Structure 1
């Protein structure tokens, strides 16, 4: 009997609740033994059964081991939604290495920080993205080797590292002897007042994501889960675990297309899907099409959709929306099944977690009063373990043994939670977190800019827009579009400011701290420059 056949032999103790069964290798083996021939994952070009995924994990782990990757090593991954992405994820999880998926829009300072902070010696990247890595200052980065997915362009930059095609899968290796708390992935979430933080996500955290989220969505054997959200974020990555645990299939599309969304649901025979707050009003703004009713989807996970859009979307498209609350650091902590949904509310606290709404001293506030949401889990390793290489930030976020979300919420007397706004200085745009600090650093690097403040203003699509107010150096002038073109290669497209204002000075406290709340209150005025109105389109 070979290695793969041995791994799929039925276990004498099939209890998935035990710690040994919350690691990726154990979950893959259990699924293959239970329902190995049913599809598990597809990128719409290639489909894997559960048995395929098990073999791919073992053999890709062999190729990583041959490269010198060992248990605990980080492997960076710069790749969109395709089978190679999941191949690296599964191989790392099998080997006990830690995958570091990077937002494919990362550029410049942000990307350099991530590669330095995670310490990855190997990067796996789509060939068309690799130039952004070669353009970085390579002097003190730990990166040594890049595996390319696809062929590089003829005019690609000269490689700064050993660059080779991603090698084929190797001989299978036995899975690492892992526990619930072993790190599975490091996911970077944008800093709110500093650099991006690498969230250390243990194996069990993703098991519980798959368990709780799928429960509220009603995921069952034979379901087809469709996502066009990026796999390098928690939302889409945990949908793989929903499929894995519940004998369903995940179909991951390359990207969201408003014109093609419902057609994709029909073509993939999806029964469950995933949308973000801004996607629903975008879809509702389009003309009605036949495919809106020809699909099989019964429910969508839809965090952050404004309450007044929920009923309209369901009535028009026949898809029930399930709201909820979670973060990269936590889990599906506030939600509810379809019949427990209340428009405009995130839901109730999920059993297995604890929550408080507190003031600035961590003292609970009465129901009906806004305060910061703080959280903790009853089960070990259902939350992240901290921030990689940032002990001070970890202690700050988990102070008093509660995770501080930085979000202002209200808890109603009947236990429903309602989101109010963010305490942290962060911006949520196009489904992405934008660090104002990182945008400011790029703006300040322009020779004409003396001071810059970046903040959020509301858009018509229930999300934030990025606005910057700038003070130029004495004697300098700067055309707004020239500044946008300067930012474009240095920032993800979604972080490039839409609105620019130029001022002689910025409002400050007595100790010189910029009072961003005053800038937010002023917002967009008649003198504000608007990128959308300029006719210029950012490259993506």
Structure 2
């Protein structure tokens, strides 16, 4: 394979307010120390009583957080959990989530955060693939276990978080109280700290093995891109079971900041909460910024302390209005669960809506289907790799063939079609892989199709993205019925409810008599995408149909 390395613009990176973050982090934490237990211990000694974590009425200092991690590890160890065991977490944004995650990282166990919306085939696959020894689940989500496929059983050990009764058919116990702490275990930077599931393409979701050092580098690269400085208040409403909110905690602990975790995003309440916490850095993805712009203008729109907000995936046409109205520049960027904060724009963006420039410490190339490098201006697949050890994921859990496929020729194949301009800017064109991005969530078209094909009236189907009014994707399904069967579009939606995450349920349904096919007889999804919203496309939102959650 011919390789041309396209390095980041170090001069541009050096002008960032957070450029010194790289030097400070690498000096304070040499390679062997890029593990969470060492980071917490060292920063606890440095910052002591300074507030690190705020969630509702809960506040932890740096010193208290290290103690909580040690005590959480002790609780896990007393329950029989050992280094390398998987601990599944199905919990909303609350302190107990972080407690369990920190305890696992401290003792060398592996956290498996699960999207709280998952049901049926998706939840079954994660439990089947990861094989957790323990499931820690918030009580309102316990009924999701009733949707598991017949060949999947929850682990024997289940702890619940929060109030409320759980089904008697599920053997559970409340989350035990914290007790005596444990000394940190002998953990290495390449050891897996979390398995995060990301949307599959031609198969089920893949469990991304994230090593300890990858989260360290997420904290470094993201903080550098955002220009974070000591004392900043990092404010997120994103879910902890995704990379973004999780790595924001590392940004805080590495840089002497305060991490504020809200339960969930609220367009009407975002600025009120930001003002309450005196937040200086915010985290917005895709449609969230558009939703904020959709709120009624207020004289309080600029009465806040927010200096900058992550704006990855926010369409370029919304950057200017957002800055003009709220006084907050949005940072362009690109990263994935498998990689890191690979690209970042300037603040404010000099080319809104693009990926920005390649970060120093990363390598990228744009290639054709044979992995041959393409010239500037020509779109192809984006390939990535990191210069620092364990800055990227190490593979997919229990899927060696998918790992080899993704890391072919020692580059990570992103599955995204991208173009590099002559001046070093990278632009996202579209997805080469068969996945859909909706409201910050990746949707596997394959998983949705498997549910659809279980309906006795459906003969064939294709799930594909259609554009949303908010600048992201909406899930569309083309369905061909078996001879002699009748079905209304709303019946397709009702069949999906409860068998998958609510955000994966198709918004658009198109009943067709013939599927467009390729020369090889495969369904030609590109033809369905290009056709867009046809006259026979049913829209559940236009029809006023409300999904059950």
Alpha-carbon shift at residue 339 of structure 1 (Å): 5.5
Determine the C-alpha separation between the residues in 1 that align with 2:205 and 2:300: 40
| Greater relative CO, 1 or 2 (CA 8 Å, sep 6+) | 2
Q: What secondary structure, in the 3-state scheme, does the structure 2 residue paired with 1:294 have?
A: coil
Aligned mate of 2:394, from 385, 390, 393: 385
Task: Give the CA deviation at 1:139.
Answer: 4.2
* Alignment of 1:374 onto 2:383: yes
Partner Cα distance (2:90, 2:169) in 1? 16
Q: In structure 2, do the counterparts of structure 1 residues 356 and 438 end up closer, same or farther at CA, with 3 Å as the change threshold?
A: same
Any idea what SS the aligned residue of 1:244 has? helix
Q: What SS does the aligned partner of 1:532 have?
A: coil
Which residue is 2:88 aligned to?
A: 76
Aligned to 2:168: 158
**1:484 equivalent among 469, 475, 493:** 493
Gaps of 5+ in 1: 1-12
Aligned equivalent of 1:453, options 453, 462, 465: 462
Report the TM-score when normalising by structure 1: 0.95
Give the deviation of 1:492 after TM superposition: 0.7
Q: CA RMSD in A?
A: 1.4
1:465 aligns to what SS in structure 2? strand
2:539 aligned residue: 530
Q: Find the counterpart in structure 2 of residue 118 from structure 1.
A: 130
Q: Which residue of 2 aligns with 1:9?
A: none
Paired residue secondary structure (1:129) = helix
Which structure 2 residues correspond to residues 112-191 of structure 1 after superposition, within 5 A?
112-137=124-149, 139-141=151-153, 143-153=155-165, 156-160=166-170, 162-191=171-200
Q: Distance in 1 between matches of 2:200 and 2:31?
A: 32
| 2:126 is the alignment partner of 1:108 | no
> Which of 24, 27, 30 is the aligned partner of 2:36?
24
Structure-1 residue corresponding to 2:53? 41
Aligned equivalent of 1:8: none
The farther-off stretch of 447-456 and 383-392 is: 447-456
Choose the corresponding residue for 2:507, options 482, 491, 498.
498
> For residues 497 and 103 of structure 1, do their structure 2 counterparts lie closer, same or farther at Cα, with a shift above 3 Å needed?
same
2:280/2:306 contact within 8 Å kept: yes
Cα 1:356–1:94 change in 2 (3 A) is: same
1:95 to 107, 127, 134: 107
Residue 509 to residue 342, structure 1, CA distance change in 2 (3 Å): closer
Residues 223 and 249, structure 1, Cα contact 8 Å, conserved in 2: yes
State yes or no: 1:438 paired with 2:436.
Answer: no
Does the 8 Å contact 2:121/2:149 carry over to 1? no
Once the two structures are superposed, residues 57-85 of structure 1 have per-residue CA deviations (whole angstroms, 9 ceiling, x without a partner) of 00011110111110011100000110001
Within 1, Cα distance between the matches of 2:168 and 2:484? 38
Distance, in Å, in 2 between the alignment partners of 1:527 and 1:339 is: 43
Aligned counterpart for 2:291 among listed residues 271, 282, 289:
282
Q: Shift of residue 279 of structure 1?
A: 1.3
Task: Deviation per CA, 1:143-180: give whole Å up to 9, x if none.
Answer: 21110001334xx43333x3000001121111111111
Counterpart of 2:209 in structure 1 is: 200
Deviations 1:254-286 (A, max 9, x none): 111111111111111100000011111221122
User: Residue 16 of structure 1 contacts residue 22 of structure 1 at CA under 8 Å; is this kept in 2?
Assistant: no
Contact 1:15 1:21 in 2 (8 A): no
Cα offset, 1:20, TM superposition? 2.6
Matched, 1:215 2:224: yes
Query: Residue 547 of structure 2 aligns to a residue in which SS?
Result: coil
Residue 232 of structure 1 aligns to a residue whose secondary structure is coil
Matches within 5 A, 1:308-323: 308-323=317-332
Distance 1:206 1:26 in 2: 13
Select between 250-259 and 382-391 the one with higher mean Cα deviation.
Answer: 250-259
CA deviations 1:96-147 (Å, max 9, x no partner) are 0000000011110000000110110210000000111133236444621110
1:50 corresponding residue in structure 2: 62
Structure 1 residue 400: deviation in Å?
Answer: 0.4
What is the CA–CA distance in structure 1 between the aligned matches of 2:26 and 2:470, rounded to whole Å?
46
The 8 Å contact of residues 263 and 291 in structure 1, kept in 2 or not, is answered as: no
**In structure 1, how many angstroms separate the alpha carbons of the residues matched to 2:461 and 2:225?**
43
Distance 1:279 1:142 in 2: 34
Instruction: Give the direction of change, closer, same or farther, for the CA distance of 1:487–1:397 in structure 2 (3 Å limit).
Output: same
Instruction: Name the counterpart of 1:408.
Output: 417
Alignment correspondent of 1:4: none
Pairing partner for 2:355 from 324, 339, 346:
346
Q: How many Å apart are 1:389 and its aligned residue?
A: 0.4
How big is the shift at 1:337?
4.2
- What CA distance in whole angstroms lies between the structure 1 residues aligned with 2:533 and 2:56? 42
Q: CA separation of 1:72/1:519 partners in 2, compared to 1, >3 Å: closer, same or farther?
A: same
Residue by residue, what CA displacement relative to the aligned partner does 1:193-228 show, whole Å, maximum 9, x if unpaired? 110000000000010110011012111221111001
1: CA distance, partners of 2:351 / 2:327:
17
TM-score (norm. length: structure 2) = 0.93
Aligned with residue 328 of structure 1, among 326, 332, 337 = 337
* Contact in 1 for aligned 2:366/2:381 (Cα 8 Å): yes
Deviations 1:449-494 (A, max 9, x none): 1111000011121100110010111211112222212211011111
Q: Aligned residue pairs: how many?
A: 525
Matched with 1:250 is: 259
CA distance in 2, matches of 1:351, 1:253: 32
